């Protein structure tokens, strides 16, 4: 082991795991809000792609990663706005619109990329890291977890922020009521449509941010279909987490670690066909599902548009 798995290599693997986990985390946290409020947001893959594309465009032309994150989040939110208008406001089927948006953004971003970047394939410089003093000096762990771009810490902080909102604020109550019994929320004087719209827009912004991180930091560039199903994994994580943000974090990290593990196993020269090794992350999640998926209680009104006074 010692020869192959140097400290540097191990921390690079873990670093990679974190980098791979962050887009999933953001997407999962985003999806969680929508689901809590009763909207099954299948369009999240499209929102991530929009975020990835616009995030990259923003960062590339402005030279500022932060601006890129901002445009990425805005891009995701813009797609979410369509979803909110169609699915929340006029109550169209969430699956139809979600999948249609995903297809559309796959095509649209690929199209834009073709006309804009397919000759130059621009790439961003390395994202600068915010080094956390002391902690980053711990061997292996330090460079793996405490030398990331500031946005990574913010994303992790968001986990606790969301936890606080869900459990300790009126907004959290509103979201839960919107998903479990929207009529009760309505008669309590809170506009269900508005609550759900806010939830969906937040989802879009977070998914867009996740996409922007994926493009700008994860890959440093944009290419068509770059998200590769990350949005769908986000849906899985959100459902698996049963409304608790911390579980989204664990799930995303588990997935990231499994990805790195596949690299580690290959580098260690374990002669299993790579195709089999690469099933590992999905197997891990599937096993989690078998073990913990029991009665994954979803909001009662999930997927059902709310119409005031309908019977």
Partner 1 sequence: MSGFSSSSVAGRDIVALEGVTKRFPGIVANDSVDLSIRPGEVHVLLGENGAGKSTLIGMLSGLQQPDEGRILVDGKPTPITSPRHALALGIGTVFQHMMLVPTLTVAENLLLGGPWWQRPRTEELAARVAEITGTLGITVKLQAKVSELSLGEQQQVEILRAMLRNSRLLILDESTSMLTPKGIDELGALMRRLVEQGLAIVFITHKLKEAAAFGDRISVLKLGRKVGEIPPERFRALGEQEIVAEIVELMFGKQKDDPEAVERPVRTARAGAAPLLQVADLAVAPTDNAPGLSSISFDIRPGEILGIAGIDGNGQKQLAEALAGQRTATSGSVRLDGAAIETLSVGERRRRGLRYLTDDRLGEGTVGTFPVSINFFLKQVGAAPFWRNGVEQRAEIDKRATQLVREYDVRTPSLKTPVARLSGGNIQKVLLARELAEGAKVVIFNKPTYGLDLANTLASRQRIRDTAARGLAVLLISTDLEELLGMCDRIAVIANGALVGTVENVDDARTKVGRLMIGLAA
Partner 2 sequence: KSIAILTPEEGTDYGWNQQGIDAAKAAGKAAGVEVVVAQGLGYGDVRPTLRELASDGASLLIAHASGYNTSAPEIAKELKVPVAIVDTPAGLEKGLVADYTLSGHEGAYLAGRLAAKVSRSKSVGIVVSGEPPSWNSQSAAFAQGVKAENPDVKITYAVIGPAAYSDAAGGKRVTESVIASGADIIFGQGNGSSFGMLQAVETTKAADGGKVYFIDVIGDKTPIDKGFLLSSVVWNIEPVYAAMIADLKADTFGTKHYTIGLKDDSVKLLKTAAIPDNVWTEIQALREDVISGKIKVEPVYDAAAVRALMTSVAQ
Partner 3 sequence: MSIDTAPTVSATALDATSGAATRRDIAHRLLMTLGPIFIALVIAGCILLAVGVDPLAYYGFVLEKGLFSPLGIQQTLTRMAPLLFLAAGLIVAFRAGMWNLGGDGQFLLGAVTAAASAPVFVQIMPAWLALFCSFLIAMVVAMIWSLVPALLRAYQGVNEIITTLMMTFLGTSLANVLVKLAFRDPNTTVPQTRTLPVEDRLPRLFETTITSGLLLGLAAIVIVHLVMTRTAFGLKLRIVGANPRAAVHSGLGVPGLTVAVFAISAGLAGLAGAVDIIGVQGNVRADWNPAYGLAVIPAVFLARMNGFAAIGFVFLLSVLSIGGESAARRLGVPNHFTLVLVSIVLIVLAVAEYFDHRYSQSRRT
Ligand X SMILES: Nc1ncnc2c1ncn2[C@@H]1O[C@H](COP(=O)(O)OP(=O)(O)OP(=O)(O)O)[C@@H](O)[C@H]1O
> For residues 295 and 311, which CB has a smaller minimum distance to ligand X in the complex?
311
Rounded to whole angstroms, the Cα distance separating 125 from 56 reads 12
What's the min distance (Å) between Cβ of 288 and partner 2?
Answer: 17
What's the min distance (Å) between Cβ of 183 and ligand X?
Answer: 12
The region of 55-63, 101-109, 122-130, 141-149 touching partner 3 under the rule CB under 8 A is: 101-109
CB atoms within 10 A of CB 139: 10
* Secondary structure (3-state) at 148: strand
Task: Show Cβ contacts of residue 146 under 8 Å, excluding neighbours closer than 6 positions.
Answer: 131, 132, 135, 136, 138
183 binds, options partner 1, partner 2, ligand X, none, Cβ within 5 to 8 A by partner type: partner 1
153 binds, options ligand X, partner 3, partner 2, none, Cβ within 5 to 8 A by partner type: none
> For residues 157 and 300, which CB has a smaller minimum distance to partner 1 in the complex?
300
Single out the residue of 111, 138, 187, 246 in contact with partner 3 (rule: CB under 8 A): 111
> Which residue spans within the chain are E strands per DSSP?
130-131, 147-148
- Count the residues of the shown chain that bind partner 3, applying the rule CB under 8 A: 54
Single out the residue of 133, 189, 269, 309 in contact with partner 2 (rule: CB under 8 A): 269
> For residues 211 and 251, which CB has a smaller minimum distance to partner 3 in the complex?
251
Residue burial 35-71, b: 16+ Cβ < 10 Å; e: rest: bbbbbbbbbbbbbbbbbbbbbbbbbbeeeebeebbbb
Write out the residues near ligand X by the rule CB under 6 A: 309-311
CB 56, CB 212: distance < 8 Å: yes
User: Binding to partner 2 by residue 260, rule CB under 8 A?
Assistant: yes
């Amino acid at each position: 082991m010692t020869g192959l798995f140097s400290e540097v290599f191990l921390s690079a693997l873990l670093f990679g795991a974190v980098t791979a986990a962050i887009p999933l985390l953001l997407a999962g946290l985003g999806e969680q809000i929508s689901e809590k409020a009763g909207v099954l947001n299948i369009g999240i893959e499209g929102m991530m792609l929009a975020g990835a594309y616009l995030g990259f465009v923003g960062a590339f032309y402005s030279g500022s990663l932060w601006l890129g994150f901002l445009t990425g989040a805005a891009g995701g939110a813009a797609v979410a706005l369509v979803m909110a208008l169609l699915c929340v406001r006029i109550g169209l089927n969430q699956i139809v619109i979600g999948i249609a948006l995903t297809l559309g953004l796959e095509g649209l971003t690929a199209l834009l990329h073709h006309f804009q970047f397919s000759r130059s394939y621009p790439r961003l410089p390395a994202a600068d890291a915010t080094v956390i003093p002391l902690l980053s000096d711990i061997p292996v762990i330090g460079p793996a977890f405490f030398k990331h771009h500031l946005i990574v810490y913010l994303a992790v902080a968001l986990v606790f922020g969301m936890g606080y909102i869900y459990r300790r604020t009126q907004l959290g109550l509103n979201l839960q009521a919107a998903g479990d019994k929207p009529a009760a929320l309505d008669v309590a004087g809170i506009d269900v449509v508005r609550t759900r719209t806010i939830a969906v827009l937040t989802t879009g912004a977070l998914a867009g941010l996740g996409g922007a991180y994926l493009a700008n930091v994860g890959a440093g560039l944009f290419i068509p279909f770059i998200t590769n199903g990350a949005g769908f994994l986000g849906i899985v994580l959100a459902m698996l987490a049963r409304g608790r943000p911390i579980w989204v974090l664990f799930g995303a990290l588990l997935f990231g670690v499994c990805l790195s593990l596949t690299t580690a196993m290959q580098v260690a020269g374990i002669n299993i066909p790579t195709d089999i090794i690469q099933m590992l992350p999905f197997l891990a999640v599937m096993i989690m599902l078998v073990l913990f998926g029991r009665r994954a209680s979803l909001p009662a009104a999930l997927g059902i548009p709310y119409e005031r006074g309908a019977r």
